[in-house]
Amino acid sequence: MGTDVTRCLCEIGPHGTGLALARLALAILAGGCGASVTSGSDPDPSSDLKGHMPEGVDARSDETVLNTLADYFDRNRERVYFSRQLEVAFESQWFHWITNRGLRMLIEQGLLVAEERTLSTGGSIHVMWHRGYRYPKREAARVVALVEEYAHPNIGASLGLQGEMLTLEGFARHQFVLHGREVNSFRGRRWDETAHDLDFIFERDNQAYGVEVKNTLGYMDQRELRIKVRMAGVLGIRPVFVVRMMPKNWIYEVQKAGGFVLVLKWQLYPWTHRDLARRVRDELGLPVDAPRALEDGTTQRFLRWHLRNM
């Protein structure tokens, strides 16, 4: 066993702190004990971020993430969480996959306890809590019940439609003309490499845009993003993505292709589901809301970009 690992084990003891366990995780990451983080320990199987882990992550970055997460759980010992919830909570600091990786490492090393719960819809979720939380069952049941409610397929479908309808209304408000919905062709050009299409094609001032809307808590699939960027190029239009959140390096990819990313920061629920949105926001701390329309300042950001790039 390596010297760093031995020292960390001595620090932990039977009642060690999260920071000591975080240091153990770092020592093992550096090669001690031959331990590894496997996909089987992923605390949130609903996460769509597997496969996007960047290579050669700096160990100093790992140390910051592990220490921050360990301290967070030390300060919230009687709370139950799930991975997506924490990925979103820390997204201003790190990409979702970095938080996910840190959580898996802390589960692997014993600071966090994780259990898989089956949802009534047929899927499953991994909930997690600090190892010092003695009676987590009631809190875990409350979290799972609320996740089941907002993750129901009917709710998911309505969220997708709501994002599209608010985008459609917002673009129309600024005189962008709709040329088509769910389309893969435009003015004699057709995309036939895959079965993908674009949610909308809008035009104003003789400039057309292929618009894709993703009203989700997690990032859209990176492969789909790149396909849609290429599709817009084939169709001779500019790619535009309306999303709750997107990594900055992905945004840069879109910008290099002449496109724009309209980041909303909030997941948008139908007005009829405003009570559910309030409970998800208040009880889980997730950025959700139920506006009747996109804020004018939000759509103005795209309009200003359009006018600058005429």
Rounded Cα gap, residues 33 and 42, in angstroms: 20
**Looking at residue 117, which CATH number applies to its domain?**
1.10.10
Total residues found in the chain within this entry? 310
Give me the number of domains the chain comprises. Answer: 2
Query: Same domain for 223 and 278?
Result: yes
pLDDT digits (tens, 9 = 90+) for 127-142: 999 999 999 999 999 9
Q: Determine phi and psi for 119, rounding to 5 degrees.
A: -90, 155
Helix (H) or strand (E) holding 116: strand 112-118
Q: What is the mean pLDDT of residues 143-156?
A: 94
Question: For 155-208, what is each residue's pLDDT tens digit?
Answer: 999 999 999 999 999 999 999 999 999 999 999 999 999 999 999 999 999 999
Structural domain includes residue 145:
no
Greatest Cα pair distance in the chain? 70
What is the residue range of 58's domain?
3-135
Cα–Cα dist 88/47, whole Å: 11
Domain end call among 108, 135, 162: 135
Dihedral angle sign, alpha carbons of residues 150, 153, 157, 163: positive
Whether residue 148 is contained in a domain is answered as no
Specify whether 183 is located in the same domain as 304. yes
Residue at 141 is within a domain: no
Judge whether 83 lies within some domain: yes
* Mean pLDDT, residues 17-43: 40
- Does residue 142 sit within a domain? no
Query: 3-class SS at 135?
Result: coil
Residues 167 and 277 reside in one and the same domain: yes
Mean pLDDT of the 111-129 span: 92
pTM: 0.82
Residue 208 main-chain phi, psi, to 5 deg: -100, 150
Domain at 183, CATH number: 3.40.1350.10
What's the whole-number mean pLDDT along residues 97-104?
A: 96
Residues 81 and 284: their CA atoms lie apart, in Å, by 8
Instruction: For residue 50, list its beta bridge partners.
Output: none
- Asked if residue 194 belongs to a domain, the reply is yes
Question: Are both 130 and 166 inside the same structural domain?
Answer: no
pLDDT digits (tens, 9 = 90+) for 260-307: 999 999 999 999 999 999 999 999 999 999 999 999 999 999 999 999
Q: For residues 230 and 166, give the distance between their C-alpha atoms in angstroms, rounded to a whole number.
A: 25
- Give the domain-ending residue among 135, 165, 180: 135
pLDDT tens, residue by residue, 75-93: 999 999 999 999 999 999 9
The confidence score (pLDDT) of residue 62 equals 83
121 and 236 inside one domain: no
Residue 240 in any domain: the answer is yes
Nearest-angstrom CA–CA distance, 83 and 238: 34
Q: Are 142 and 130 in contact (CB under 8 A)?
A: no
Task: Kindly state whether residue 179 falls inside one of the protein's structural domains.
Answer: yes
